[in-house]
Chains A and B, each alone.
Chain A
Amino acid sequence: MAASKNIVTSFQRRGPRVGGADTGGSRLVSIAGTRPSVRNGQLLVSTGLPALDQLLGGGLAVGTVLLIEEDKYNTYSPMLFNYFLAEGIINGHTLLVASAKENPADILQKLPAPLLDDNCKKEFNEDVGSHETSESDIKMKIAWRYQLLPKMKAGPVSSSRFGHYYDVSKRIPQELIEASKWHGFFLPEKMSPAIKEEACSMINGYKKLLHFIQNVIYEEGFDGSNPQTKQRNILRIGIQSLGSPLWGDDICCTENCKSSHCLMKFLYVLRGLLRTSLSVCIITVPTHLLQNKANVARMTNLSDVVVGLESFIGSERETNPLYKDYHGLMHIRQIPRLNNLICDISDVKDLAFKLKRKLFTIERLHLPPDLSDTVSRSSKQDLAESAKLLGPGCGMMAGGKKHLDF
């Protein structure tokens, strides 16, 4: 996956684009850590996980919302969240971190360390060496590509490459955090108890967050309304566990809550803000807590990219031999149609993720070969059952019926 992505990035326009219609595009392209989509012309940013970028059609388009459905114990979804933010720090993007649970400053401290050009190869080799040989071929190819990549810039953050790899076992260097520009929204700090209740359609926390985001976008010129001489930049917004009870929302508590439209309105207005500014947003939502599954479908409809994580922790799949190589399944539920009639959908539907010692990887799900002679009948049936569960694949282009059996 990552290897083919690098092939894509090696086609880069050297000179400025000629032609009047494209001048806006070429100016935008000069932002670090972005590239234009070959498919729909949108400006893309990396999610911080090159494998995921490739699954989403090259990256995340600026102005869109990436919705992550949290896994049950919220073990792996913070990693995607952190990757997204760390990628912003590496590229010098402005961050906006919103949470009701953790202080944004603490979230930033926990970001993974980047594997940059000089130590990247070494880390990769180290990582590969500790794993089986079948994967080492692929990894070596990636490392080989890195050797060919020219040094882009000097400095501590040496690379303006699109998409980086991160070492989850290490924390991001302190000087990178200090050099970065970020805004934090920590709900308990922002809530003042004696507030004048204006009759409005939204829960207070959501409303405050929207105003906060709008303020940042407007004051720092991400909306492009006040053209400034300084370099344009991308605003990366991360919102943690949106819709959880900590936000004051009862969408997780009751099935027929009256306030379910608050979350939807928040998403809608947020999307309107993003569409008119140079910003991109990641939201994690505990969808397994939502009592009414209709709300999940509505949220999906109001977001652009939706990725679901399903970890094996605590489920019977944890001990299932079929899944012994993986830590969970990844479902790409929705890929946006941007400037196109259809979306850029990848061929692979059965995806699994795995947390290695240092890397979070996404792989195509392969069934392991059945080598043992003593597989009992029952476990074979189990395997067949589990494999059938995988069947429908991506529900967005064409979800299959559950009861179909071949």
Chain B
Amino acid sequence: MLAAPARPDWLPSADFARASFSRALELCCSSASVVSSTSPSGPGPLFPDLRMFPELNNLLNTAPDKAEQGRLTLLCDARTDGSFLVHHFLSFYLRANCKVCFVALIQSFSHYNIVAQKLGVSLTAARDRGQLVFLEGLKSSVEVFFQTPEEPHPLQFLREAKAGNLQPLYEFVRTALTPGDDGEAAWRCPVLLVDDLSVLLSLGLGAVAVLDWMQYCRATVCCQLKGNIVALVHDREDTEDEENDILLNGLSHQSHLILRTEGLATGFCRDVHGQVQCSGHCTTSWSAEAADSVETAHNPAGPEPHLSVQDTGQERVLFC
């Protein structure tokens, strides 16, 4: 509700902030060349990724037209908010012409839609043309709680007293992403996006149940359908949240790429909000152009991998 008038600013920001990172960065860049099947309705290459985070794409050596497949990406944030990465990957995969199933548990659709418009994609349009399947957790929680549904709802566990069952949610993801007969092959690959898994823990599910669910999703989406999974987990290092630690460690072990967002150790700063660390356990193979970008962007002064990302609204921001 209360949708804001989104300001379409098509102008690229004049100064992209410095993108500097050290070579010590372990990145997984097997450059999978995917032939893009351009659907007429999909966002074509007309819009270069001015409004996603180009530094992040450079860093990961990826672009919407050469997105890899079969990957599990774990987003994790500590002492700060990493949701900008969720927005990034949402717009990234929609632009990459992938079929996206977005399990949004923490915010409303209008919030994601307005931010996505700032990043250059429209969620309503994507949902209308069948590219995006959006599960709005907040809205459905009200339906699940106050009405007695006939068929099992994906968030059925909200009603259950003990030991919630995530099978309906898995079924939801599977049916959403399994390509049907009716020409849905136009989408390149399926993508599951979860924001965020820590909410599932808060709602009474055990870490093992969530890990099982992720395992099922991985088997279906990553292996069977050759798609990708992106999931956000908060890192509550100082609160001794055991369940959360189990979940985070388990997923860190499985994932191909971990993007860890941290607040600055020195405390609050107005200009720089934090840092992003990338780590993964794939074979590191820089492609030629990626190596070039490393050379140019390498900053000997910075001991940490740095990545400047801008909010594409009015204000400059984000992560450094």
Contact = CB atoms under 8 A, between A and B. Distances in A.
Interface of A: 21-22, 24-25, 28, 40-43, 62-63, 199-201, 210-211, 214, 224, 261-262, 264-265, 268-269, 271-273, 275-277, 293-294, 296-298, 301-302, 337-343, 347, 349, 391-401, 404
Contact of A294 (B236, B268, B269, B313): B236
A199 B1 CA distance: 33
Contacts of A62: 2
Contacts of A343: 81
A382 B138 CA distance: 47
Contacts of A42: 2, 4
B265 A400 contact: yes
B22 to A, nearest CB: 21
Contact of B108 (A275, A342, A397): A275
A400 B240 contact: no
B142 A339 contact: no
Chain B CB within 10 Å, residue with most, of A43, A298, A343: A298
B139 A392 contact: no
17 contacts: A40-B4, A200-B159, A201-B157, A201-B160, A265-B203, A276-B139, A293-B240, A294-B236, A294-B239, A297-B239, A301-B234, A341-B115, A341-B312, A343-B81, A392-B267, A397-B80, A404-B267
A399 B158 contact: no
Interface residues of B, number: 61
A354 to B, nearest CB: 23
B141 interface: yes
A32 B131 CA distance: 41
Contacts of B151: none
Nearest to A339: B114
A341 B111 contact: no
Given A24-B3, A201-B160, A294-B241, A399 B263 contact: yes
A210 B144 CA distance: 13
B198 interface: yes
Contacts of B318: 341-342
B145 interface: yes
A342 B85 CA distance: 12
Interface in B217-235: 234
Contact of B311 (A22, A224, A340, A404): A340
A47 B240 CA distance: 33
A60 to B, nearest CB: 13
B61 interface: no
7 closest Cβ pairs, A-B complex: A41-B4, A261-B204, A398-B263, A400-B267, A294-B241, A272-B138, A339-B114
Contact of A342 (B138, B141, B198, B317): B317
